[in-house]
A and B are shown apart, each in its own frame.
Chain A
Amino acid sequence: MLNTAGLSLDQAPPIRVPFAFFLAAPFFVFLAGALLLWQGEAALLTRWSPSALALTHLIALGFLTQVMLGALFQMLPVLIGARVPGAAWIAPLVQVFLILGTLALAVGLQWGGAVWLSLGGGALAVGLAVFMGAAGVALARGRGAPRTLQAMRLALFGLLMTLLLGVLLVAGLLGVPIGGLTAWVDLHLGWALLGWVGMLILGVGYQVVPMFHVTPAYPAWLARPAAWVILSGLLLATAATLMGWGGLAVWGFGSAVGVLAIFALVTLDQQRRRERPRIDVTLLHWWSAMLSVLLAAVVWLSDGRAELVGVLVLVGVGLGLPSGMLFKIMPFLSWFHLQHRQVAARRFDVRLPHMQAFIPERWARVQFGLHLSALLALTLAAVWPETVWLTPLGALMMMSAAALLSWLQLGCYRRHLQIGRRFLTSCAQ
């Protein structure tokens, strides 16, 4: 019989819930930039340096995961027709744990200290577990495009594996004996980048790439097997790591990397065939992120520097794609919620500006330019770590991109509040 549980098509939750995630996220990029400015050489010299580890988590959790969680709380009704139960109070709870956990973990990784590491690992475990439980309920009830649903479910599984391995590694750092620690770090990284981030890009991309720019749907030869190949690759790598067969694990990761590279190529081709003529900032971010994926795959497959792969994935994809999405989602939500209030208050005398008025396109392009310069400088710095001025330059660019993003977001929110007040004030007259 028809499943109608959780059937609701309105834009839950209230706007402050996703906006809290969006507004807090650039702060972590700023922190990462500051850390890079201060400890930069070590970070790009080896991925095993304390600052490289701290930086990675500030960006991956503080920015990327934070933005994506905020967007998922908001977008699941649209993507899969089911909303996260109790999002209005679960989301702030998840966010508090995510923020505290990320900060504590970064401190622990940078300076050591059992207290910080266990605090960070513990808070992240609690926050992400609550998120996975709530989102799991929504995904179990979800319907619609089977490829999207499947990729989103597997992404959640990827997040779970990342978390479990992360907790294991924290235990290892705290002195629990774990054989072959570096192989477990690679596995944690593999699940994080391929199983969580990669799978999420697949799931979201299948929906939003055709939607945003009116392109043909993704071809079935890619969309049908893609998520499963990534999953089996990661499971193979996990089994191989358990058995201590490093060589086999590489094959597992390799197949997942290959699929994502093909996805990036197909995405670029889809967007080339788009019907909407305009090249907006979101499209620019998609292009630079997909090119970063391709380049990262080539470097990884040809056994290049891991630090270079890290820069391309973390900065090119991890900072770029969420920024591109924010420039569309935030103005839309601002407009949409105001429109609702206008209808509810029957105040059609107040004229609403259109989406673009909330974040000026020109400034969004400047922000993209700063992001691109940061990506370029840090990529070159990872290729030639001996050129000492490249890293601080990249760090400064990254901090200015984050600061401008933050400024534009605040402007968007301020505009939203300003117009919202007009419904109240002119009522009194």
Chain B
Amino acid sequence: MSSIITEAFTHDHHACDHLLAAAEKSLTSGDWAVIGQASEALISTVNHHFDVEEQTLFPRLASIYRVASNPIEVMCSEHAQMRALLSDLGEAVAQRDRDTCQGVLETFHFLTQQHNSKEEIVLYPMADGALRDQATEIAGLVARES
């Protein structure tokens, strides 16, 4: 069975993991310009990933497999939680509040890991099965230089 979608989106998850680790590392530098850049990179990459899932991957999957709509709903509500945390992160960076930055990143990290794991195990393989003829096109949406 094809795994184009699983591979591309899993790869993008890892790209986000690297950016999160980089943001945490930047906190130890104490240089707020560097911290701002690192968290900006994290926020925009994660938001882009969510956008592709919410606007393209999930709706197309749901239109073919009705059973997927319940798990998709759970995934989207977790996106909302993570987006809220990212906006907390932006605020904390603006206020130069290091402890809050660290707290938000830790919470965001755990939430993201369990979220990604569920997508990689269940939803992406399902999407690979359902969207065989569109897989390359959808995968292209998250395949960015990294």
Residues of A within 8 A of B (CB): 2, 4, 7-10, 77-81, 143-145, 207, 211-212, 214, 274-278, 328, 332, 335-336, 339, 343, 353-357
The answer to whether B117 has its CB under 8 Å from any CB of chain A is yes
Answer whether A4 and B67 are a contact pair too, CB < 8 Å, given A78-B117, A78-B118. Answer: yes
Give the distance to chain B from A270, nearest Cβ to Cβ, in Å. Answer: 14
List chain A residues, Cβ under 8 A from B113: 211-212
Asked whether, in the complex, the Cβ of A355 is within 8 Å of the Cβ of B106, the reply is yes
Cα distance A157–B82 when bound, in Å? 38
List the B residue with the shortest CB-CB distance to A333.
B110
List chain B residues, Cβ under 8 A from A328: 110
Q: Specify which of B74, B103, B117, B123 is in contact with A79 (CB 8 Å cutoff).
A: B117
Cα distance A10–B76 when bound, in Å? 11
Asked whether, in the complex, the Cβ of B21 is within 8 Å of the Cβ of A214, the reply is yes
List the B residue with the shortest CB-CB distance to A277.
B25
List chain A residues, Cβ under 8 A from B21: 214, 274-277
Chain B interface main SS type? helix
Residues of B within 8 A of A (CB): 17-18, 20-22, 24-25, 28, 65, 67, 70-71, 74-75, 77, 80-81, 100, 102-104, 106-107, 109-111, 113-114, 117-118, 120-123, 125-126, 129
List chain B residues, Cβ under 8 A from A144: 117, 120-122
Cα distance A274–B21 when bound, in Å? 9
Cα distance A214–B102 when bound, in Å? 16
List chain A residues, Cβ under 8 A from B129: 2
Cα distance A354–B125 when bound, in Å? 32
Cα distance A332–B81 when bound, in Å? 13
Ranked nearest first, the 9 interchain pairs of A and B with the lowest CB-CB distance are A144-B121, A275-B21, A354-B103, A81-B121, A9-B71, A81-B122, A355-B107, A211-B113, A9-B74
List the A residue with the shortest CB-CB distance to B126.
A2
Cα distance A214–B28 when bound, in Å? 17
Cα distance A268–B121 when bound, in Å? 26
List chain A residues, Cβ under 8 A from B77: 343
List chain A residues, Cβ under 8 A from B106: 354-356
Cα distance A211–B102 when bound, in Å? 17
